[in-house]
Structure 1
């Protein structure tokens, strides 16, 4: 069971006293955290904390870190697939506090993972620079494997639904492969969802302002709208 608050996970940090490490084009900052319920029925996971969240982690109130600046968009994504239909933004804010009983929030990679943007010459949390770490053979893949081993293999007994914020085809395929390898066989429900050992994993649109498909997902338009409808189907029986 993982409790609300800063985490003491040392899986990627054995023998490392620093709070930052580089591996190829990837950089990991030691700042794992968990928000909300300790025994949730639904776990909502981003890919990794972005720079805004990582900065807030080191200097701001802990309860305000997860999905900082985009929580209203997270709620819009959940409501677009039929969850929390009558929830207000103020009510949703309270779900990130230790008193929450049903929902928990974190990221697949619990520490802050960034990748080198070669054009800018800096590490960024932009998806095109981070998602390559999920590929088999990537120098950053062991960060992903370690986090799945540590935090997604032995889930709380009550957790039967994991919502993954990020639904590009490449991310769905890469993460499903990691889940299958580390957790156990994966059974496809449809192109955006799968089952593993009794837990349903469903991919939704990422709430980042840089996600150009976000609006289409919410409105149900085009290929993004199709993925929204597939997610709704996967959640209909939960």
Structure 2
């Protein structure tokens, strides 16, 4: 475990493809598999190098991973679902004055306040035995965050490197994905990397002077997305708990 202080808050990452080699001692290799998990070397970071708010998906999905190889870098992160991501952020009290045009600009190098990436910076997928192929769906990827899983080496190394060390300006990390298992497994990794967690509520915790808040994932495959945005049922209650936690952050 690391103590609070500059040691855990020193990692400024520039907008663009990243050169991280933590899981890649052989730089000639761009793909590796371990058990039911596959990792593709394509780490990236969008927006501010010293963000106040860092927004993290679970991992780049297949759409983003394919776009990473073929399309302009600024268009890759949350490709096709940025309007849904904006709705999620606004539902918890962030960027309430942004329209989609302004929000699109935040994925560029001149953004000062927000940054976007994934908890696993490279593209992590899990085997779908029914389809016989690797899938980016959360139920196939989230098990990699569990201690003892074949994918734990990938997830723990990435959390330790990129969440254990955060930019000095960062006050809030929004983690997209709020299932009980994801919260349980990634919060354990964050606690191991940054020090003891202080639980705020069922979707938020503090570690190393930074607030971590789980929000609904904007994926089109998320069946709870609409209820979350509308504030209905259990998803809506999670949204309100996230918004309450976000409202406590001092951004000044």
TM-score in terms of structure 1 length: 0.99
Report what 1:217 is aligned to: 228
* Partner Cα separation in structure 1 for residue 168 and residue 29 of structure 2: 34
Whether 2:123 is the aligned partner of 1:83: answer no
Of 35-44 and 175-184, more deviation after overlay is shown by: 175-184
> Could you tell me which of 49, 52, 65 is aligned with 1:54?
65
* Partner Cα separation in structure 1 for residue 175 and residue 97 of structure 2: 21
Taking the TM superposition and a 5 Å limit, the aligned residue runs for 1:37-186 are: 37-186=48-197
Tell me the matched-pair count: 238
* Partner Cα separation in structure 2 for residue 125 and residue 75 of structure 1: 21
Report what 2:4 is aligned to: none
Report what 2:31 is aligned to: 20
Runs of 4+ residues deviating >2 angstroms: none
Whether 2:232 is the aligned partner of 1:232: answer no
Report what 1:35 is aligned to: 46
Is the 2:37–2:126 contact (alpha carbons within 8 Å) kept by the matching residues of 1?
yes
TM-score in terms of structure 2 length: 0.93
TM-aligned CA deviation for residue 196 of structure 1: 0.2
Q: Deviations over 1:74-123 (max 9, x none)?
A: 00000111111111000000000000000000000000000000000000
> Could you tell me which of 194, 200, 221 is aligned with 2:205?
194
* Partner Cα separation in structure 1 for residue 29 and residue 155 of structure 2: 19
TM-aligned CA deviation for residue 237 of structure 1: 1.3
Q: Is the partner of 2:106 in helix, strand or coil? A: helix
Unaligned runs of 5+ in 2: 1-11
Q: Is the partner of 1:202 in helix, strand or coil? A: strand
TM-aligned CA deviation for residue 22 of structure 1: 0.3
